[in-house]
Structure 1
Amino acid sequence: MSDEFDYEELGLVAGLEIHQQLDTDAKLFCACPTDLREPEEAERTFTRYLHPTKSELGEIDEAALEESQVEREFEYLAYDSTCLVEEDDEPPHRLDDEALETALEVAQLLDMDVVDQAHVMRKVVIDGSNTSGFQRSSLVAQGGEIRTSEGTVGVEDMMLEEESAQRVEETESGVRFSLDRLGIPLVEIGTEPDISSPEQAREAAERIGMLLRSTGKVKRGLGTIRQDVNVSIAEGARVEMKGVQSLGDIEDLVRFEVQRQVRLLDVADTLQERDAEVGDVQDVTDVFAETDSSVIRSALESDGLVYAVPLFGFDGLVGKELQPDRRLGTEFSDHAKRHGAGGIFHTDELPAYGVTEEEVDALREAVDAGPEDAVAIVAAEADVARPSIEAVAERAETAIEGVPEETRDAKEDGTTSYLRPLPGAARMYPETDVPPVEPDPSDVPEPELLTEKAERYEEDYDLDAGLAEQVAYGQRWELFEEGVETGVDATLAAQTVESTVTELRRDDVPVENLDDDHFRGTFDLIAQGELAQEGVPKLLAALARNPDLTAEEAAEQEGLGSAGEEEVREAVVEVVERNEDQIEEQGMGAFSALMGECMGALRGKAEGDLVSQILREEIQKRA
């Protein structure tokens, strides 16, 4: 874990950006479906090369400029549903009405003021995640708030924008993307920098997530919601951590980023005390002409070069740990990798990796580095080595100054890696192909909060608190309510859509094949007295394995019709007579074992209460 800090003393300031996909029928700027596809379903591919463009002010965004320095080919997987808008061969259509209405519902739940007129903007994005080289986004509402146990957190704005293409894999020439996700509507909710602790950051994210799910119109599952976390401390800098997928990761990310900034400030203080500076980049290939290092040897055998940069006054600091298993040298390496290098070596960790002490001495001598200095090297192809080491030198310069503002990639272990510079306003300009719209929130009803729904289920249906919350926060609450309306016991209906499905999933039953009609058919059979409670798991399992069957067909196939009292008594008597010796010896002590045998014999066709009553009667007759 990270160090323990006094966050108030450090001046911790944090904010969130929540990106949530909406569950609409169509994409934001075309009529294509929003369902995800398997890459194997792609019918064709096409490629693009993307380049930065100037804003209306004639400026180029720094993040886009850095991205453009790495020449990459972007390949896109297209499907039978892919249209010309998604390929950027046709102008975008009007803003989707369903997506806008859902965004207005979210605005109500966040107590936000809706704009009088929503204009679509272009945001330059040339990492390949959009075929056009920009993302379309529209400001919908401003000025809301949420409440947490540590105080109110302001909500600055909410954008309605299109989702990026899905990254499939790295290729030899660049990156492969899938167009199934591109254009799915999403809302981006940005909070004010009012968060002052890791715990409050998580609580705020949980609250916003609950409000979003309360609409019943957001997609669920891995990748459908992402949290970006902005963190800074008083002497540090604003850092944006992108792509946090799990709420459980937020606290660690904030803690580890505070730790990183505190340690970077310590490094900067030491470097300034030492009058540290970064020297000139130099070609040191000759030093390693006879090296046994497999990494360097591989580069040289491919006509590569070895470049070095002397870091005067850096000795012992390049290897300083900033986050678990991540050091200042790791940050240098992140920047080198952005330009195609596999990583770096530095003298705080050498000799090692096949590099000898004699080679380290020769390296220091070649670049005029003394014992108080460090040296970083990159071994790579000729066109990669120099820009990679220059990126290391630039990052070393900022280490002397303190904490750089930047965007970082969130890892599952709570650490982060360098992604790109913070984007600026220079990447935004109007989208002239999409007319503005005038949102009208007056016609949009305010959704029931999930917390309110759970309370209602407790009061109206007499569910216990845990089950009520499970159903309210789940994805099948509407099916639950339909089941109760058909006459199914509320607890049974709740267990059917939640607990039973969870248990079947644990038993590796493919419950993802169950659709709404499967549950409706199951409830109809229960309400008509044709299916006992005990037969529900077996019926759902059969439907999951044979999703083309109706509930009635599956019940017949599995022999799950509801047994009458006479049929139940016959089955019980048969079990009792088969175990007369046990009953004579144990009396009612044999009940539990025989109950299981009776239920197995009836194969879920009878309610447990009825079987239990008849079994007790038959045992008492013989005991």
Structure 2
Amino acid sequence: MTAAYDYEALGLVAGLEIHQQLDTATKLFCNCPTTLREPEEATHQFTRYLHPTRSELGELDDAAVEESKVEREFTYLAYDTTCLVEADDEPPHRLDEEALETVLEIAQLMDMTPVDQANVMRKIVVDGSNTSGFQRSTLVATGGAIETSDGPVSIEDMMLEEESAQRVEETDAGVTYSLDRLGIPLVEIGTGPDIRSPEQAQEAAERIGMLLRSTGKVKRGLGTIRQDVNVSIAEGARVEIKGVQSLDDIADIVRTEVGRQAELVEIQDELEARDGAVHEPRDVTGVFEGTDSGVIAGALNDGGSVFGVRLEGFDGLVGREIAPDRRLGTELSDHAKRHGAGGIFHTDELPAYGVTDDEVSSLREAVDASPDDAVAIVAADSAVASSAIEAVAERAKTALDGVPEETRGANQDGTTRYLRPLPGAARMYPETDVPPVEPDPSDVAVPELLTEKVDRYQADFDLDAGLAEQVAYGRRMPLFESAVEDGIDPTFAATTLESTLTELRRDDVPVENLTRGHLEQVFGMADGGDLAREGVPDLLSALAAEPDRDAATVAEEAGLGSAAEDDVREAVIEVVERNESQVEAEGMAAFSGLMGECMGALRGKADGDLVSQILREEIQKRA
């Protein structure tokens, strides 16, 4: 959808929830490492079934109840580092102090007030992402703000939580999760509903992301930060969009959701004008006996059924686009899929998919549909088809009221899909196994902002603006700072960490294998004269291929040691004498061509500055 919207006129209100993994040594409630593993490394596994529990007031959370309607087996991959806490076979340990200190740093950057006492709460989660059936969450600070170009955005609360298990595979029988991620400390930052445009939403998210990275204590890379976006318009409803992976997608997500809600409001108005209604579903299996539709025939051949529902006044509206490549029918289909069906067919798109005109006519007759009505059908196992069509009917009924409050998931194309109802207060209750703590921010230092680092790197280290920003915002910023403290030339360190590694990655060198220790060894060798700077790329490439070895050994075997000045001069003289006629004819004009030949002859064993100096001297002697 490409329509431009007047966000102020529509009454757009948006807020953000930013979830960021912290880079701590151990997990939030146990001493296991926070290193991610490959599923192939799993040493054992176990299975669980989860169901919702009542809150202290005896209430059941709607989202948890709907999640539990789909019976699934959850399989958990465990590793040689997995402990009893992660398997929910032992009570959690005390709250990790390193994680709490990091969250207090973040709170200071946002002018937030820490709570007097932090109490751990249980939040019911029965989608299998936690072995216990709940996530542990702790309110740490409240009442802050950040600035955007369109005005301040309030920060309502900051939570310290445990990360969920990582989904590995989903089948009809259930879901497989990996326990390596479960329990990694996670900070959740919730803004107030102060955002009034897609652009402000993205700017606010970018500002929060910068503040988080300024601590130097958050994990980096895909999946380590997730953004949830709450969006509503005046005539719509609050919708929570989960799992926006990239900051660059936030503005598009907000625009698309505004458009979706605006279209649903128009559909509501049209249905009201048509006296729309949703009727009870019916078994319409008999309509499709001997059908040529592969999907329907497949279900019937397996002993399944076809159920249909008459959507009075919905003709032409089920197929109406409400977001790019998504229609009201897609919304209905999302609900059917939640109950195990593959999707739905509806009369706005039929005849198609092997369904004939005669079958459409018979279908309409079977549910008493008029030409102004639409009919949606589900073909599947009888129990699945029955529950799925009921879910379709319930979602169609909400179209009569406009926009339903719900939780939706972000798709890669910037659209969203239905996940579950919005959770309520009934999902939270106190954790009795972890004692409360009293946060003390008095000894917590306020970190330097990344924007301030950029300015300092330019002023103190004479880095150009682009390189200074790359280093400050890069994931190896702490290594750069420690290298400079150890006396490494700032420009050399910055160029190696940003430019050299980027070029090697583009050449398919597995630079992700290079550890901080590798890079520190290379810096030390170059600074001590044991490695020419021109040999750094070759050494890094060799180390990336053999990460279990040390830099000095690899450099020696590859012949990458730094050549002595006498050896450099000897190599330069040999090149000059080999090109004596050119030198006599061109003088210093021959320098550029001979410089490349000299560097090639030395194969990275000498710094360019030294080679350049000696080459100039030898040419001048002969000119």
TM-score w.r.t. length of structure 1: 0.98
TM-aligned CA deviation for residue 47 of structure 1: 0.8
Aligned to 2:42: 42
Q: How does 1:415-430 map to 2 (within 5 A)?
A: 415-430=415-430
How large is the Cα RMSD of the aligned pairs? 1.4
Aligned to 1:362: 362
Q: 3-state SS of the aligned residue for 1:498?
A: helix
- CA–CA separation in structure 1 for the residues paired with 2:486 and 2:160: 38
- CA–CA separation in structure 1 for the residues paired with 2:411 and 2:207: 23
* Cα deviation code 1:190-224 (max 9, x no counterpart): 00011111111111111111111111111111111
Asked if 1:180 is matched to 2:175, the reply is: no
- Aligned AA (1:612): S
Q: 3-state SS of the aligned residue for 2:156?
A: strand
Q: How does 1:17-28 map to 2 (within 5 A)?
A: 17-28=17-28
Aligned to 1:314: 314
TM-aligned CA deviation for residue 608 of structure 1: 1.4
- Aligned AA (1:445): A
- CA–CA separation in structure 1 for the residues paired with 2:299 and 2:522: 65
TM-aligned CA deviation for residue 82 of structure 1: 1.1
Asked if 1:560 is matched to 2:590, the reply is: no
- CA–CA separation in structure 2 for the residues paired with 1:167 and 1:477: 31
Q: 3-state SS of the aligned residue for 1:187?
A: strand
Q: 3-state SS of the aligned residue for 1:241?
A: strand
Q: How does 1:137-148 map to 2 (within 5 A)?
A: 137-148=137-148
2:172–2:340 Cα contact (<8 Å) kept? no
- CA–CA separation in structure 2 for the residues paired with 1:486 and 1:137: 40
Q: How does 1:238-277 map to 2 (within 5 A)?
A: 238-277=238-277
1:2–1:256 Cα contact (<8 Å) kept? no
* Cα deviation code 1:385-428 (max 9, x no counterpart): 01101111111111111000000010111100001000000111
- CA–CA separation in structure 2 for the residues paired with 1:481 and 1:185: 25
TM-aligned CA deviation for residue 580 of structure 1: 4.0
- CA–CA separation in structure 2 for the residues paired with 1:488 and 1:22: 29
- CA–CA separation in structure 1 for the residues paired with 2:441 and 2:70: 45
TM-aligned CA deviation for residue 509 of structure 1: 1.1
- CA–CA separation in structure 1 for the residues paired with 2:313 and 2:172: 39
Of 543-552 and 209-218, the range deviating more from structure 2: 543-552
1:486–1:523 Cα contact (<8 Å) kept? no
Of 509-518 and 391-400, the range deviating more from structure 2: 509-518
- Total equivalences in the alignment: 623
* Cα deviation code 1:108-153 (max 9, x no counterpart): 1111000000111111100000111111101000000000111100
- CA–CA separation in structure 1 for the residues paired with 2:425 and 2:154: 22
Aligned to 1:571: 571
* Cα deviation code 1:323-372 (max 9, x no counterpart): 11100000000000000000000000000000001100110111111111
Of 593-602 and 483-492, the range deviating more from structure 2: 483-492
- Aligned AA (2:32): C
- CA–CA separation in structure 1 for the residues paired with 2:101 and 2:206: 23
Aligned to 1:294: 294
TM-aligned CA deviation for residue 275 of structure 1: 0.4
Q: How does 1:524-543 map to 2 (within 5 A)?
A: 524-543=524-543
- The 1:365/1:522 distance shift into structure 2, 3 A limit, reads same
Asked if 1:117 is matched to 2:147, the reply is: no
TM-aligned CA deviation for residue 586 of structure 1: 5.6
- CA–CA separation in structure 1 for the residues paired with 2:582 and 2:321: 69
- Aligned AA (1:543): L
Aligned to 1:335: 335
Aligned to 1:74: 74
Of 164-173 and 308-317, the range deviating more from structure 2: 164-173
* Cα deviation code 1:272-297 (max 9, x no counterpart): 00001011100000000010000000
2:308–2:377 Cα contact (<8 Å) kept? yes
Aligned to 1:133: 133
Q: Which structure 2 segments of 5+ residues have no match?
A: none
- CA–CA separation in structure 1 for the residues paired with 2:593 and 2:374: 75
Q: 3-state SS of the aligned residue for 1:308?
A: strand
- Aligned AA (1:360): V
Q: Which structure 1 segments of 5+ residues have no match?
A: none
2:216–2:478 Cα contact (<8 Å) kept? no
Q: 3-state SS of the aligned residue for 2:604?
A: coil
TM-aligned CA deviation for residue 25 of structure 1: 1.2
- CA–CA separation in structure 1 for the residues paired with 2:395 and 2:212: 39
Of 539-548 and 65-74, the range deviating more from structure 2: 539-548
* Cα deviation code 1:426-471 (max 9, x no counterpart): 1111111111111111111111111112211111111111111111
- CA–CA separation in structure 2 for the residues paired with 1:397 and 1:144: 40
- CA–CA separation in structure 2 for the residues paired with 1:517 and 1:587: 46
Aligned to 1:232: 232
TM-aligned CA deviation for residue 531 of structure 1: 2.1
TM-score w.r.t. length of structure 2: 0.98
TM-aligned CA deviation for residue 592 of structure 1: 3.0
TM-aligned CA deviation for residue 87 of structure 1: 1.0
- Aligned AA (1:178): S
Of 362-371 and 586-595, the range deviating more from structure 2: 586-595
TM-aligned CA deviation for residue 540 of structure 1: 1.5
TM-aligned CA deviation for residue 179 of structure 1: 0.8
Aligned to 2:348: 348
Aligned to 2:189: 189
1:161–1:186 Cα contact (<8 Å) kept? yes
TM-aligned CA deviation for residue 562 of structure 1: 2.3
- Aligned AA (1:114): P
- CA–CA separation in structure 2 for the residues paired with 1:131 and 1:226: 21
Of 580-589 and 432-441, the range deviating more from structure 2: 580-589
Q: How does 1:183-222 map to 2 (within 5 A)?
A: 183-222=183-222
1:2–1:255 Cα contact (<8 Å) kept? no
TM-aligned CA deviation for residue 590 of structure 1: 4.2
1:62–1:421 Cα contact (<8 Å) kept? yes
Q: 3-state SS of the aligned residue for 2:400?
A: helix
- CA–CA separation in structure 2 for the residues paired with 1:51 and 1:479: 46
Of 574-583 and 136-145, the range deviating more from structure 2: 574-583
- CA–CA separation in structure 1 for the residues paired with 2:89 and 2:486: 50
Aligned to 1:13: 13
Aligned to 1:511: 511
- CA–CA separation in structure 1 for the residues paired with 2:313 and 2:12: 30
Of 328-337 and 558-567, the range deviating more from structure 2: 558-567
- CA–CA separation in structure 1 for the residues paired with 2:563 and 2:131: 61
